[in-house]
A and B are shown apart, each in its own frame.
Chain A
Amino acid sequence: MLRHIISMKDFSNDEIDIILKRAKDFEPIARGKKSSLLSGKILATLFYEPSTRTRLSFETAMKRLGGEVIDLGPVEKSSVAKGETLADTIRVIGNYADAIVLRHPREGSARMAAQFSNVPILNAGDGAGHHPTQTLLDLYTIMRESSLSNLRIALVGDLKYGRTVHSLAYALSMYHADMTLISPKQLQMPDVIKKDLKKQGASITETTNMEDVLGDIDVLYVTRIQKERFPDPAEYQKVAGIYRVTVELLEKAPDNLIIMHPLPRLDEIDPAVDRTKYARYFEQSFYGVPVRMALLAMAMEVV
């Protein structure tokens, strides 16, 4: 059966652990050691929405494993601009490539693509829906830089619209993490999602204050408050810049705290924090490569 990577909800704990372990094995290759594991294989990248780091880290992962990458290119110049459906595009590209990485602005697009594809689909973001490869690299970062067991984590920022944070919270609930959700009232995590998390047995605390929780957590996961998500610019102005991680704020932080961010950041983490022992967001973005290697290997290697 084809192994598509669509949503974290499709994975069991054991499967996640296998992927994370595999990623660890790939780390030396991600750092430059030669490999020909996927030589002769072709990965197609279909990005209907701009993305640099996700696309580049998939390309890097594929090339370092000895494989080739073909790219749909800018959507405006492709058959999509002529009105081809995603279903047709997937059927065509699936006959060229051994796997397809897809980012598309519509929720559920990756799930649909999987129904039409004869090669594995790797979801690199479907609108406000899922972004499982980001979640897996977040879990990997926590595993490498902190610990997934007995984890106490605070998620900060836009918890309403941020897809990254929804997938991550779901995955963390599978690890029974103790979660603190920090956001302004307008950007709280939607009730449907909280309900799902509680069903998984997650423990959740909600607050608007970041300072108060710093002493009791292992991981501070900061997200950007995205202007484009707000229907009303005045609403955005009210919450823009309300959470700012600074060196002063971190004075109360325990030694082993780590700070993560999916990047790109705006002003939610002061650049001076980069030089502290807490910062892990650049490691986190590097870990995207070995994690995506593990997923590409799973999707394409001959066993």
Chain B
Amino acid sequence: MKRNEAENKISDGSLKKEMRVRPIKHGTVIDHITAGQALNVLKILGISGTTTAVVSVAMNVPSGVLEKKDIVKIEDRELKETEVDRISLIAPDATINIIRDFEVIDKHRVELPLQLEGVMKCDNPNCISNTVEPVISKFTVNKKPVELRCIYCDHVISEGIAEHLI
């Protein structure tokens, strides 16, 4: 799709509601983010106020019947696997859309991995993984509900997951 076609698409009634900002040529759209988690997604991606990337964020967008969602769109960036793993923890229903030449060329839902390495900090201050020892934090993952169990100390993290992300 050419740029002007894309813009035409925007003026098309059905899409106009969602496309409040200009479309992106190349980049990534993270859609269906659990409402309220957009800023945590930005944090995971290392995007702060000083970023030079072109980023748009939509929060509490009506989606489906009554549901709300957040959306994050970033130009000229593809996500690393470890970033997607982190996003899956706070937004288990998110979809990653790869945009090329204004088109969605690939779409997949994030998936919680069975194990997480070096992604979270154990919340037990007395855990061996929170010391000078040469170990990387490691958790086994329970998907529903999302529960992370430290393989070292057995502590379970089920709430405030975003705060424990490294």
Task: Tell me whether B58 is interfacial, beta carbon within 8 Å.
Answer: no
B134 touches A108 (CB 8 A): no
Are B128 and A108 interface neighbours, CB within 8 A?
A: yes
Q: Cβ of B132 and Cβ of A85 under 8 Å apart?
A: yes
Q: Which stretch of B32-40, B45-53, B67-75, B149-157 is in the interface?
A: B149-157
B133 within 8 A of A: yes
Q: A112, B154: Cβ atoms under 8 Å?
A: no
Contact (A108, B132) CB under 8 Å given A127-B126, A192-B156: no
Cβ of B154 and Cβ of A107 under 8 Å apart? yes
8 new A-B contacts at CB < 8 Å, known A108-B154, A112-B129: A85-B132, A87-B135, A107-B154, A107-B155, A108-B151, A109-B128, A111-B151, A112-B128
The size bracket of the interface on A is 10 to 19
B134/A107 in contact, CB under 8 A:
no
Give the most central of A104, A108, A111: most B CB within 10 Å.
Answer: A108
Contacts of A87 in B (CB 8 A): 133-135
Task: Tell whether A107 pairs with B152 under 8 Å between CB atoms, given A86-B133, A128-B126.
Answer: yes
Q: CB < 8 Å: which of B124, B135, B156 contacts A107?
A: B124
- Interfacial residues of chain B within 121-166, with CB under 8 A of chain A in the complex: 124, 126-129, 131-135, 150-156
Q: Which residues of A contact B128 (CB under 8 A)?
A: 86, 104, 106-109, 111-112, 126
In the complex, chain B residues whose CB is within 8 Å of the CB of A241: none
Within 8 A of B (CB), among A89-134: 104-109, 111-112, 115, 126-129
Chain A nearest CB from B136 CB (Å) reads 10
Measured in the bound complex, the distance between the Cα atoms of B130 and A269 in whole Å is 38
The 5 closest A-B pairs by CB, nearest first: A108-B152, A107-B153, A108-B153, A108-B128, A106-B128
Could you pull out 22 A-B pairs where Cβ atoms are within 8 angstroms? Answer: A86-B128, A87-B134, A87-B135, A106-B127, A106-B128, A107-B124, A107-B126, A107-B128, A107-B153, A108-B127, A108-B129, A108-B151, A108-B153, A108-B154, A109-B128, A112-B128, A112-B135, A115-B135, A126-B128, A127-B153, A129-B154, A192-B156
Assembly CA distance A34 to B133 (angstroms):
42
Q: Chain B CB within 10 Å — which of A85, A104, A106, A129 has the most?
A: A106
Question: A87 CA to B135 CA in the complex, in Å?
Answer: 9
Residues of B within 8 A of A112 (CB): 128-129, 133, 135, 152
